[in-house]
Amino acid sequence: MSGPLSVFDRPNSYIGRTVPRPNARRLTEGRGRFVDDLSLPRMVHAAFLRSPHAHARIMGIDTGAAKASAGVVAIYSGADLVQHIEPWVGVLTHLKGLRSPPQPAIAVDVARWQGEAVALVLAASRAEAEDAAALIEVDYEPLPIAIDMERALDLDEPVVHADFDSNLAWERLVEQGDVDAALSDPDATIVERTFTFGRHTGVTLEPRCLLAAFDPSERRLTVHYSGQAPHMMQYIYAKHLGLPEDHVRVVADDVGGSFGIKVHTYGDEVAAVAAAMLHGRPVKYVADRFESFQSDIHARGHRVTARMAVSAQGKITGFDMDDLTGIGPYSVYPRTSAIEANQVLNLTCAPYQLPAYRARGRVVFQNKTVMCQYRAVGHPIAIAVAEGMIDAAAVASGRDPVELRRLNLIPDDAYPCASATGMRFNELSHHACLDKLVELIDYDGLRAEQERLRAAGVFRGIGISSFVEVTNPSPMFYGVGGAPIASQDGATVRLDASGAVHISSSVTEQGQGTEAILAQIVATAVGVPLERVRVTTGDTETTPYGGGTWGSRGAGIGGEAALLAGQALRAQVLEAAAVILQAKVESLDIADGKVVDSYTDRERVTLADLARQIYYRGNELPSSLKPELVATRHFRVTDYPFVFTNGCQASWLEVDIETGEVKLLKHWAVEDCGRVINPKLVDEQMRGGVVQGIGGALFEHCIYDDQGQMLNPTMADYLVPMAAEMPDIEIVHVETPTSTSVLGAKGAGEAGTGGAPAAIMNAVNDALRPLDAQVTAQPITPQRILEALKAF
């Protein structure tokens, strides 16, 4: 390696710079390439008939009239498809005791949630497919339903799966230290609360969709995919449709939002792909909004009861909690529906010094839409519980909430260390972040203003949340349990004859800026202008094998692979240049697309000229020189199971105590996500994440009636955050690069969503405190606030 400076100190380094995303411009011109924009010859469209019952036996399906409907090409029932699609089981070995029965792609004998697909119609247009679906007659025998998670384990509650002895899918107990002793200490302040979190969902603006094409002459399947993990889907389609993996190509181009929703295996999607194979014509399936609400994974339906003891000195001495979550009738494949609860157990109180901790988690089956990982998986609950308890303890013990946190957050010089649940931390900066936050928001100034306004009958609140966030996961997250999920990723970096550099990476883009930061990293590592770098992602045929984007791993893992590959390419170029220029390798550098003399910056040869000579005029090279101008490197995190980030957030809001409305005045975040590659992109991830968290805190809820019917499966009734109600969000950073990689970047995609609900809930309760009202149920609706105030 040549050059006296580290890659980060080099002149013209793009790392740490806000540069516009190269792929943003075309999206402002209407040149997106989303799945539904594609068309293939003889393409047909899929629509599904879905169960209107939460639980029902399918006695018979009569497709006679439907088959005769105009434009219909084929109709498949669950029984038709199960012969061609191997059912799957959503368990992983490292989640001991997790059970789930085999799940067919679409329901065969029994429909187990309202919205589960029971038949697939292929027709010349989606409208005609829907016309035909309406003519299918299904004879249902309704069965008893289990839809209240609190009753799921009662002896007289209907059991969702006849083969199981109960509705328990998984349970885990974490215990460290003597919690009972801490909670029975007469000198301690004990607080107890019950928190509930409403089940909600991702609502990606582009719904789930795919276009599958099968060539029977070669038995080759191509799936145009809107999602995060193309290699994982390659494995899944191959395994469950009976194809060799190398006969399956999955291609993700533009994806209109994912947030974890599109990283799971959906039966309707696999069924549509199977239909393409069976019928021999390309099949396009685009979920409409109504079926998206009923069949996209839901998340975050929890009830947590917690108790905490704080000593007279203000130290947390013990924490005890019981977490119950209701999933759907199946644990979703392959990531399982137990991970969210596992995160809640692992991460509650994680930022704090805690001598005694006990947490029990139970995951129960229900006849509701299936549930699985959605942005910030488990963190919104873990953080809201811990931070809500801290605020409650602060009030109960007469301390300022910031002060109580300062007394208990793990000191910034205590690393490496481990949490009570065995989470290993290194290089975190809780205190530095909290100090910065307090200064940023002018905490004392806000308290003064709060007091002044209270006297005038205006109720404002400040809410703080301090937290860790899981990023850059190692194989310990999924692979170790048997999941076909890669947690290593690769990048191939190539110098072309034109002097342009091409990156092919196994992490993927859904708009967060993956391709932009890969380009920035490689442009810096190699020494070329950003405009000369092209990036390819999302295609299993042409990219290295990897895990895709999830768990905030794109920058930290994909970026590291790109950095290493870029550095390797640089070395290759300089090695060849040294021979050709008859100079010492150490005396050469690459800057701005040219090989230069590293001491004088004098240009020796452009990369284009060098590359052309190597590619076209090999006769001019000594025969001993065998230049390669392409390098592939892979990276996985080895030192730690996860690379945690830390941060804190504050919410400043006003509660109208007569109407229950909450006005969000301002939101702040201080985030330490290690080395920041593109500040603007990180900040925008934070902002989008915060707003998504606000959605769960104040607005979003999948509401069910007692028959297991979702009552609000439309954009008019399921409330997502819109612009008028959202605050401006100010963000600053602390940067503690992780030593687990050269790049030092951690993830930033989820912290906004994880930390925001806690800050919002704490702010509401801070506003209501003089009125002896508290809300611990999310979403915090006007109704819940008025009920807490006993206003009606």
Partner 1 sequence: MTKNRRRISFTVNGERVECDVLVRLNLVDFLRAELGFTGTHVGCEHGVCGACTVRVNGAPVRGCLMLAVQADGATVETIEGLNDTGAIPALQDAFVAHNALQCGYCTPGILITALDYLEHGGTADRAVIRERISGNYCRCTGYQSIVDAIAEVAAAPADGGAP
Partner 2 sequence: MQRGKAAGRLQGRTSATIGDNMKAPEFAYDRPETLAAALAALSAAGPDARLLAGGQSLMPMLNFRVVEPTVLIDINRVPGLDTIEEAGDLIRIGALVRHVAMERSELVATHLPMVHKVMPHIAHAAIRSRGTIGGSLALADPSAELPACMIALEATIVAHSQNGERRIAADDFFIGVYETVLASDEMIVAVEIPKQTARGHAFREIARRHGDYAMVGLAMTTATGVSLDNARIVFFGVAGRPVRAKAAEAAIVGLVAGTEAGECAAAALDGTLEPHGDLNAPPAMKLHLAKVLLKRAIAELQERVS
Considering the complex, state which of residue 316 and residue 690 has its C-beta at the smaller distance from partner 1: 690
Segment 34-63, which members bind partner 1 (CB under 8 A)?
34, 36-37
Contacts 24+ apart (CB under 8 A), 217-222: 218/247, 219/243, 219/247, 220/247, 220/248, 220/249, 221/247, 221/248, 221/249, 221/273, 221/276, 221/277, 222/248, 222/249, 222/250, 222/251
Nearest residue to 704 (alpha-carbon basis) of 690, 684, 718, 689: 718
CB 558 within 8 A of CB 507: yes
Please report whether residue 726 would count as binding partner 1 according to CB under 8 A: yes
CA distance to 139, 295, 451, 459, per residue, from 133 (Å): 14, 17, 61, 53
Instruction: Give, rounded to a whole angstrom, the gap between the first and last alpha carbons of the chain.
Output: 73
Q: List all residues 6 or more positions away from 151 whose beta carbon is below 8 Å from its beta carbon.
A: 157
Q: List all residues 6 or more positions away from 508 whose beta carbon is below 8 Å from its beta carbon.
A: 228, 229, 230, 252, 255, 514, 537, 538, 548, 549, 554
Considering the complex, state which of residue 93 and residue 714 has its C-beta at the smaller distance from partner 1: 714
Q: In what order do the strands lie in the sheet with 594-597?
A: 588-591, 594-597, 603-606
97-105, 554-562, 718-726, 759-767 -> range binding partner 1 (CB under 8 A): 718-726
82-90, 165-173, 202-210, 781-789 -> range binding partner 1 (CB under 8 A): 202-210
Q: Which entry of partner 1, partner 2, none binds 705, CB below 5 to 8 A by partner kind? A: partner 2
Nearest residue to 540 (alpha-carbon basis) of 325, 246, 254: 246
Q: How near is the Cβ of 726 to partner 1 at its closest, in Å?
A: 5
Considering the complex, state which of residue 131 and residue 560 has its C-beta at the smaller distance from partner 2: 131
Q: How near is the Cβ of 570 to partner 1 at its closest, in Å?
A: 29
Please report whether residue 700 would count as binding partner 1 according to CB under 8 A: no
354-362, 453-461, 474-482, 686-694 -> range binding partner 1 (CB under 8 A): 686-694
Considering the complex, state which of residue 204 and residue 228 has its C-beta at the smaller distance from partner 2: 204
Considering the complex, state which of residue 448 and residue 711 has its C-beta at the smaller distance from partner 2: 711
Q: How near is the Cβ of 695 to partner 2 at its closest, in Å?
A: 11
91-99, 338-346, 366-374, 505-513 -> range binding partner 1 (CB under 8 A): 505-513
Considering the complex, state which of residue 202 and residue 708 has its C-beta at the smaller distance from partner 1: 202
Considering the complex, state which of residue 144 and residue 482 has its C-beta at the smaller distance from partner 2: 144
Q: Which entry of partner 2, partner 1, none binds 37, CB below 5 to 8 A by partner kind? A: partner 1
Nearest residue to 43 (alpha-carbon basis) of 258, 286, 399, 306: 286
Which residues share a beta bridge with 223? 212, 250
Q: How near is the Cβ of 139 to partner 2 at its closest, in Å?
A: 16
Q: Which string of x and - marks every residue 396-435 that binds partner 1 (by CB under 8 A)?
A: ----------------------------------------
Size of the site for partner 1 (CB under 8 A): 55
Q: How near is the Cβ of 703 to partner 2 at its closest, in Å?
A: 6
Tell me 556's DSSP state: I
Q: Which entry of partner 2, partner 1, none binds 792, CB below 5 to 8 A by partner kind? A: partner 2
Q: Which entry of partner 2, partner 1, none binds 27, CB below 5 to 8 A by partner kind? A: partner 1
Q: Which entry of partner 2, partner 1, none binds 314, CB below 5 to 8 A by partner kind? A: none
161-169, 185-193, 638-646, 717-725 -> range binding partner 1 (CB under 8 A): 717-725
CA distance to 40, 138, 199, per residue, from 370 (Å): 32, 22, 11
Work out which of 13, 14, 15, 21 binds partner 1, going by CB under 8 A: 21
Segment 271-310, which members bind partner 1 (CB under 8 A)?
288-289
Q: Residues interacting with partner 2, by CB under 8 A?
A: 47-50, 52-53, 114-115, 125-127, 130-131, 133-134, 288-291, 294, 658-659, 661, 699, 703, 705, 707, 709-714, 716-717, 719, 722, 724-725, 781-783, 786, 791-792
Q: Which entry of partner 2, partner 1, none binds 36, CB below 5 to 8 A by partner kind? A: partner 1
Considering the complex, state which of residue 226 and residue 346 has its C-beta at the smaller distance from partner 1: 226
Q: Which entry of partner 1, partner 2, none binds 711, CB below 5 to 8 A by partner kind? A: partner 2
Overall residue count recorded for the chain in this entry: 792
- Beta strand pairing call for 302-310 and 316-326: antiparallel
CA distance to 525, 605, 786, per residue, from 570 (Å): 7, 14, 64
Considering the complex, state which of residue 147 and residue 251 has its C-beta at the smaller distance from partner 1: 251
Q: Please give the full DSSP string across 424-473, using - where no structure is assigned.
A: EE-S--HHHHHHHHHHHHTHHHHHHHHHHHHHTT-EEEEEEEEEEEEES-
Q: How near is the Cβ of 723 to partner 1 at its closest, in Å?
A: 4
Please report whether residue 535 would count as binding partner 1 according to CB under 8 A: no
CB 285 within 8 A of CB 45: yes
Q: How near is the Cβ of 50 to partner 2 at its closest, in Å?
A: 5
CB burial of 210-223 (b: ≥16 within 10 Å; e: otherwise) equals: bbbbbeeeeeebbb
State residue 301 phi and psi, 5-degree precision.
-90, 100
Q: How near is the Cβ of 115 to partner 2 at its closest, in Å?
A: 7
CB 213 within 8 A of CB 251: no
**Tokens describing residue 126:** 């989606």
CB 647 within 8 A of CB 758: no
Q: Which entry of partner 1, partner 2, none binds 6, CB below 5 to 8 A by partner kind? A: none
Place of tokens 């201080």: 670
Considering the complex, state which of residue 241 and residue 664 has its C-beta at the smaller distance from partner 2: 664
Q: Which entry of partner 1, partner 2, none binds 302, CB below 5 to 8 A by partner kind? A: none
Please report whether residue 689 would count as binding partner 1 according to CB under 8 A: yes
Q: Which entry of partner 1, partner 2, none binds 719, CB below 5 to 8 A by partner kind? A: partner 2
Place of tokens 């994440």: 689
Q: How near is the Cβ of 227 to partner 2 at its closest, in Å?
A: 21
CB atoms closer than 10 angstroms to residue 615: 13
CA 750 to chain CA mean position, Å: 7
Provide the 3-class DSSP secondary structure of residue 595: strand
**Tokens describing residue 331:** 């644990």
Q: Which string of x and - marks every residue 130-149 that binds partner 1 (by CB under 8 A)?
A: -x------------------
As a dihedral over the C-alpha atoms of residue 665, residue 671, residue 677, residue 681, rounded to 10 degrees, the angle is: -20
Tell me 554's DSSP state: I
26-34, 59-67, 449-457, 492-500 -> range binding partner 1 (CB under 8 A): 26-34
Q: Which string of x and - marks every residue 204-233 that binds partner 1 (by CB under 8 A)?
A: xxxx--------------------------
Nearest residue to 345 (alpha-carbon basis) of 494, 90, 172: 172
Q: How near is the Cβ of 106 to partner 2 at its closest, in Å?
A: 13
The one-letter code for the residue type at 164 is F
Q: Which entry of partner 1, partner 2, none binds 713, CB below 5 to 8 A by partner kind? A: partner 2
Please report whether residue 728 would count as binding partner 1 according to CB under 8 A: yes
Q: Which entry of partner 1, partner 2, none binds 692, CB below 5 to 8 A by partner kind? A: partner 1
Work out which of 3, 16, 158, 256 binds partner 1, going by CB under 8 A: 256
Cα separation, 147 vs 592, in Å, equals 62
The one-letter code for the residue type at 268 is D
Half-sphere exposure of 214 (CA within 13 A, CB side): 20
Q: How near is the Cβ of 193 to partner 2 at its closest, in Å?
A: 24
Contact footprint for partner 1 (CB under 8 A): 20-21, 24-25, 27-32, 34, 36-37, 70, 127, 131, 202-207, 254-257, 259, 288-289, 510-513, 680-681, 684, 687-692, 714-716, 720-726, 728-729, 752
